[in-house]
Each structure stands twice: as structure tokens, then as C-alpha cells.
Amino acid sequence: MESATDMFSAFDIRVSRGRRPVLGGATLQVRPGEVVALLGANGAGKSTLLSVLAGELRGEAAVHGKRGVMLNGCDLAKLDVAAQARSRTVLPQKPSLAFDLDVTEVVAMGAYPFPGLSQDDIDILSRRVLDKADISHLAARRYLELSGGEQQRVQFARVMLQILAERQADPRGRYMLLDEPTASLDPQHQQLLLGVVRELALTGRIGVVLVIHDVNLAALWSDRIALLSDGVVVACDTPENVLTPESLRRVYGVAVHVMAHPRQPGKPLVVFG
């Protein structure tokens, strides 16, 4: 059962690189069961905000003690790495792995934060996520021999295993942080991955923050869209309320036309130029 405190939130996050501000007071919240897409132009601070949520970066010291990241009511900075990993998982923009492992070994890495899992449990979860990521046929292959898109799907399977491990015994919300997970995928597997993300959110009480550049994919698969501009979230609402010509022109600086999607009622379709 979901707790009233179940939420992953970042409040007034400020990050600078040298003297250049990257995040200038960004605020974002995601609840279990929803997909929030984070959109913005290059350099807007999307990946930086995701890194703060992942605990990889710390925001600047709060003036009044109100800034920070809260994970299900707990200060993220006060949770150890293992506790964080049991409640949220991260798929970076460019996962790096130099070891010569086979696909099943890479996927099983998602079980590391759960030492109580038996090998049988890991095997069952591995088969499940390999199927969901459409890579069961790659299970015996060496990871480093795969194409970029195939490696991305293996990494997605890994974070799925992590987010689903011991899920039934954990009543709190869990969260996935995905940084451009569709960037190296063909259209079929873009749709497949985002469909699986949506299914996990709905059936697993999982909140998802999704950094993505394709505005129309975000419109189709997210519950809310957060528009980031100059290090600040300037709008966060349903796709039809956020994806307006005025907001998109402000964020991307180009002419844009927004119309009703011809095949998805209630969803907008965005045409740039």
C-alpha cells in the first residue's frame, strides 16, 4: 500500500560548474505510478538534474535549509548507497562497461543491492526482463560484441531487474531515472521500451523520470511533462497543457505548430519549423 510520503522530489536545486550556473532553482516531483518526461534544449540542465536525483551530484548548500532531494520522505543525502539503490535505479545516457561479460551476467548486476536474492530468484527475474526488453535471443552473447542499440536494451533489462527485485515485499514507492534511453534505438524498440516503462509504472507502483529529446514520444508515453529552460522547470503538467506553441518556442527558440494527434485522442502532435 502506498504511503502518503511516497514521492521522489527535488526542491530548489542549484548547481554550478565553475562560475556558470547549470541549475538555478529547479523543482521536480514524481509519484509512484506516473511517468514524468523531462524536456529541454541542449544544455538546459536535464542530465544534471537527473544526476542530482541519482545522488551523483550534490546541489549547493541551501540558504534556509529548504533545498534538497527527498526519497519517500527521507533526505537522499542521508541514505547510504545500498539503501538508495533498493529504492531507485539509474540508466545513464551512456552506460560504460569494459568487462567482457555475457548478457545474462550484465543483467544480473541489477541484483547487487539485494544480497538476499537466491540464484533461482535472479534467474527468474533475468528471464522476465530479458523478454520484456526483447533480448532473450541475445542471452548467451558477449555484451561487448553487441551493437549500441542492443547494449542499451541490455542495460535497460539490468535496471528493470533492479527495480523489480523483492518488489512484492516492499510497500514503498520505487523510481526509475532514465537518461535518453531511446537515443540509440530504432523506432520499433523505442516504442517497445517506452511501453514497458509505462507498464512498470502502472503495475509496479514505480515512478519514472525520463529525459528524452523526442517531444512526440514524450507526449504519447508520459503522464506529465516538465519543461526545463536555463536550469529551471518552467512548466510541469499534462502533455496537452505543457506542449503549447508559446512554451515550446520559449524553450527551443524555433517556430512550432501543435495539433491534435490523428491516432491518439487527447494527445498533442508537435511539428517544428
For 202, other C-beta atoms within 10 Å of its C-beta total 13
pLDDT along the chain (273 residues), means of 10: 78 88 93 97 93 88 66 94 96 81 96 96 97 96 94 96 96 96 94 97 96 96 96 95 95 94 93 91
Q: DSSP 3-state helix, strand, coil percentages of the chain (rounded to 5)?
A: 35, 25, 35
Buried b / exposed e across 135-174, counting CB within 10 Å, b at 16+?
Answer: beebeeeebeebeeebbbbbbbbbbbbbbbbeeeeeebbb
Q: How many angstroms separate the CA atoms of 185 and 188, rounded? A: 8
pLDDT, position 2:
54
- Do residues 153 and 189 touch, judged by C-beta distance below 8 A? yes
Pairing of strands 224-229, 8-17: unpaired
- Do residues 15 and 23 touch, judged by C-beta distance below 8 A? yes
pLDDT, position 268:
95
For residue 231, what is the DSSP state?
Answer: T
Reduced to 3 states (helix: H, G, I; strand: E, B; else coil), residue 31 is: coil
| Domain annotation for the chain: domains and CATH numbers | 8-272 (3.40.50.300)
List the alpha helices (DSSP H) in the chain.
46-53, 81-87, 103-108, 119-132, 148-164, 187-204, 215-221, 239-242, 245-252
Instruction: Name the strands in the sheet holding 68-71, side by side, starting at the edge strand that comes first in the sequence.
Output: 20-30, 8-17, 68-71, 74-75
pLDDT, position 64:
46
Q: How many angstroms separate the CA atoms of 133 and 73, rounded? A: 31
Task: For residue 28, give Cα distances in angstroms to 7, 122, 244.
Answer: 10, 33, 20
**pTM exceeds 0.75 for this model:** yes
| Cell numbers that stand for 177 in this block | 531515472
Task: For residue 27, give Cα distances in angstroms to 14, 49, 246.
Answer: 10, 9, 21
pLDDT, position 93:
85
